[in-house]
Chain A
């Protein structure tokens, strides 16, 4: 049981490049979400999904796209990387409805945009 797996762990991009951060979970969780964490701040919600084919925006969605074609996977796409997107990105999942056990987080992707 791997939980939530994020790849890659580290990435350096040049301004304007695009890339996809991968997130996969094997717990059959309906709910998946992406957060970014910046120094001295908490986590801010980027996008979330309550099931395959359903996505919605969080607090800071600009510059990011998501899709949810399967229950297991929830990739985050950076369309044209900017230095302001330098951050640590976390994927999280949970059962949808009434979470009894909290969210399960991945170990994060540390992204630097130069």
Chain B
């Protein structure tokens, strides 16, 4: 069964706007990661946030983690057409011996 669940399943915004995607998970984690997948391609690692961190930045990406609510959010600021992709959260469960468990993803479309 899926550990992480992303919300919304699909998001369509105008170029230049900010995009926010949310992820909820069920069990205690070591870390939470976000990945991007362009159509027909493999997944690319974006950012990793540890269970003892609350916020992390990387360029136009901002990730927050609330372990009390078992949730995370990914914010992409000043979106570009090239940000069009599917975004997945993945958790490395304390029980999972480094097994990374993925959610179903958010399909983000940036309209020019």
- Chain B residues lying within 8 Å of A45, measured Cβ to Cβ, are 99-101
- Chain A residues lying within 8 Å of B4, measured Cβ to Cβ, are 42
Contact-size category for A: 20 to 34
| CA gap between A59 and B30 in the complex, in Å | 19
Q: Measured between C-beta atoms, what is the minimum distance from A47 to chain B in Å?
A: 10
B33 contacts which of A59, A96, A97, A102 (Cβ < 8 Å)? Answer: A102
Report the number of A-B residue pairs with Cβ-Cβ less than 8 Å.
Answer: 66
| CA gap between A35 and B102 in the complex, in Å | 10
Grouping DSSP codes into helix (H, G, I), strand (E, B) and loop, the B interface class, with mixed when no group exceeds half, is: strand
A31 contacts which of B35, B48, B98 (Cβ < 8 Å)? Answer: B98
Q: Is B94 part of the binding interface, using a Cβ–Cβ cutoff of 8 Å?
A: no
Q: How many residues of B contact A (CB 8 A)?
A: 27
Do the beta carbons of A107 and B98 come within 8 Å of each other? no
Do the beta carbons of A105 and B98 come within 8 Å of each other? no
Cβ contacts A70-106/B at 8 Å (1 or 0 each): 0000000000000000000010101011111111111
Cβ contacts B74-109/A at 8 Å (1 or 0 each): 000000000000001010100001111111110000
**Complex interface residues of chain A between 36 and 51 (CB less than 8 A to chain B):** 40-45, 48, 50
Most buried by A among B1, B4, B44, B98: B98
| B contact residues vs A (CB 8 Å cutoff) | 1-2, 4, 30-31, 33, 35, 41-48, 88, 90, 92, 97-105
